[in-house]
Amino acid sequence: MNGDHMNRPLTFILADDHALVREGLKMLISTMDNMSVVAEAADGEALLEQVTKTRADLLLLDLGMPGVAGIQFISDIRELVPRLKIIVLTANIEPRTVRAAVEAGASGYLTKDGDPEELGEAIEAIRKGGTYLARTVRFAVGEASGSGRQHAVPDILSPVPLTRREREILALVAQGLTAREIAERLGISPLTVRKHRENLMGKLNLHSAAELTAYAVRLGLPTA
Amino acid sequence: MNGDHMNRPLTFILADDHALVREGLKMLISTMDNMSVVAEAADGEALLEQVTKTRADLLLLDLGMPGVAGIQFISDIRELVPRLKIIVLTANIEPRTVRAAVEAGASGYLTKDGDPEELGEAIEAIRKGGTYLARTVRFAVGEASGSGRQHAVPDILSPVPLTRREREILALVAQGLTAREIAERLGISPLTVRKHRENLMGKLNLHSAAELTAYAVRLGLPTA
DNA sequence: GTCGATATACGCCACATGCCGTATGTTTTC
DNA sequence: GAAAACATACGGCATGTGGCGTATATCGAC
């Protein structure tokens, strides 16, 4: 971001739990000028190791990885290694998630069903110190000042920061457990679990365990 | 399978709703000898068009595509174009799904988190007229005769053929709708919906709407 | 024409859930 | 050290759900 315009190659960490997808992305990146993949990770633990061990410039992060509780992970990494820019790569196009990712410190947000060229555009934008949102989700953030959004933003919820406990309980609800089962597993009262769940539904604007489950699955939490 | 050992290149159709993933797979395949991708499809409709229009040898099918009601689609395509061999590519490793896919006529079953080399191995096996299952799911089918399975197969359910109505209701349950809402939408009694749901849970060995939802989402049904 | 599968519909019961309120102790933040 | 956020816990009430049984109409297969 200072004097190294485009001499030194940009280094990447690839984080995606699908080896086949990683392989494909590596191929894609290797066809670009001055780019190289220096590390890969298939789960959150491996990723944490790699981000501290390597000195990569960019992290291409699949939000659907096991052991990666989504958004929270972004802020964790930003705190740990501030110089590492994060590009989120996911199938999730919910406005809620996009906003949360950006506010957590992601520099880019790409969707898996987007135009492959967007990867290059995102890298370029971020190298210049900017941020990049995939065209498919750009409407989600309201454009801040732009000419005029074509679609109204559906739900105006704040980025919905979940507490640690809430995330924990969301993950268990997502596995189809009842309040009682969750309570047993956590060693607390079923009534407390219910309260947490109520708070979750309030924050996320959902209205049933099934919707919570769907939300969690789409968010990439493990479901079995 | 007859005289064309390896002169004519093998032609592929890629079906995956994620353009980025398709791009990566295309790269991967292009690095192999005598392989070429002749068509791509991002949804079920486009795919149906391509399978009839082109005369490809192999279909690499992501089971998570929108508009593709999973397994059912495999038998549909097999009926339509019997010469086209199907390799399923999915993140779903449920024994139930694996067995169902194979019985529906899939020649291969690869998982997205599997070893990328498996793609080559699968193609080779299928070219010889065999079938190929990813190592991560091979246990699911019981090996039929094999030396000895390392893990017992957890649930012994038959491949679970769902009726049209049941699939319809599964999709709606998966969106978090209550029995009443589903009944209104279909113009039938809520009690009937409940019965269908009970039958579904019986067939799939699930025990709550949340589990049904998780199942449907993993299966690739739309959830919003 | 009968049999089986499917779709339809109802009732009962125990239990879980969603929504409301209140309360207390702990931890984090300012 | 005060204020805010969080985790804990309880109660009531209307509704939904899961598991059970029963019953009828339709339709395609044999």
Across the A:B interface, residue pairs with CB atoms under 8 Å apart total: 122
Task: Write out pLDDT tens, residues B176-193.
Answer: 888 888 898 888 888 999
Residue A180: CB less than 7 A from any atom in strand D: no
- Average the pLDDT over A166-189 and give the result: 85
In this structure, is residue A175 part of a structural domain? yes
Residues B24 and B124 in one domain: yes
Task: Write out pLDDT tens, residues A77-129.
Answer: 776 676 788 888 887 766 667 766 776 677 788 887 777 778 888 887 777 66
In this structure, is residue A159 part of a structural domain? no
- Tell me the C-alpha distance between B204 and A216, whole Å: 21
In this structure, is residue B24 part of a structural domain? yes
- Tell me the C-alpha distance between A35 and B57, whole Å: 35
Give the residue nearest to nucleotide C6 (CA to C1'). Answer: B163
Q: Is the pLDDT of residue A12 over 50?
A: yes
Residues B170 and B62 in one domain: no
Contact A19 B116 (CB under 8 A): yes
Q: Which tokens is B68 given?
A: 């593709």
Assign A195 a pLDDT band (cuts: 50, 70, 90).
very high
Chain centre distance of CA A82: 17
Q: Is the pLDDT of residue B93 over 80?
A: no
CATH of residue B173: 1.10.10.10
CATH of residue B56: 3.40.50.2300
Residue A191: CB less than 7 A from any atom in strand D: yes
Residues B33 and B110 in one domain: yes
Q: Is the pLDDT of residue A210 over 80?
A: yes
Q: How far is B3 from chain A (nearest CA, A)?
A: 32
Contact B20 A25 (CB under 8 A): yes
Out of B112, B116, B217, name the one closest to residue A217 (CB).
B217
Assign B195 a pLDDT band (cuts: 50, 70, 90).
very high
Q: Which of A223, A224, A215 is nearest to A71 (CA)?
A: A215
Residues B107 and B193 in one domain: no
Residues B137 and B58 in one domain: yes
In this structure, is residue A155 part of a structural domain? no
Question: What's B147-215 look like in SS3?
Answer: CCCCCCCCCCCCCCCCCHHHHHHHHHHCCCCCHHHHHHHHCCCHHHHHHHHHHHHHHHCCCCHHHHHHH
In this structure, is residue A67 part of a structural domain? yes
pLDDT greater at residue B202 or residue B159 = B202
Residues A172 and A134 in one domain: no
Q: Residues for chain B: how many in total?
A: 224
Residues A80 and A119 in one domain: yes
Report chain D positions within 7 A of protein CB atoms: 5-11, 16-22
Assign A152 a pLDDT band (cuts: 50, 70, 90).
very low
- Note the pLDDT of residue A222: 52
- Average the pLDDT over B50-56 and give the result: 79
Residues B181 and B126 in one domain: no
Which range of residues forms the domain containing residue B112? 10-141
Last residue of a domain, one of A110, A141, A172: A141
Residue B195: CB less than 7 A from any atom in strand D: yes
Count of structural domains within chain A: 2
The three-point CA angle A88-A146-A134 to 5° equals 20
Q: Which of A82, A13, A19 is nearest to A47 (CA)?
A: A13
- Tell me the C-alpha distance between A211 and B53, whole Å: 39
Report chain C positions within 7 A of protein CB atoms: 5-11, 16-22
Assign B30 a pLDDT band (cuts: 50, 70, 90).
confident
The nucleotide closest to B178 (CA, C1' atoms): D16
Which residue in B has a C-alpha nearest to residue A20's C-alpha?
B116
Task: Write out pLDDT tens, residues A36-72.
Answer: 788 888 777 777 777 777 878 888 888 765 444 566 6
Cα torsion B133, B137, B142, B146: sign: positive
Query: What is the identity of the amino acid at A178?
Result: T
Residues A102 and A30 in one domain: yes
In this structure, is residue A44 part of a structural domain? yes
For residue B16, with 0-12 CB atoms within 10 Å meaning exposed, 13-18 middle and 19 or more buried, which class applies? buried
Residues B134 and B168 in one domain: no
In this structure, is residue B113 part of a structural domain? yes
- Tell me the C-alpha distance between A219 and A211, whole Å: 12
Helix (H/G/I), strand (E/B), else coil: A58: strand
Q: Which of B12, B14, B20 to mutate to test the interface with A (most CBs of A within 10 A)?
A: B20
Residues B132 and B27 in one domain: yes
Q: Which chain A residues are Cβ-neighbours of B176 within 8 angstroms?
A: 206-208, 210-211, 214
Assign B152 a pLDDT band (cuts: 50, 70, 90).
very low
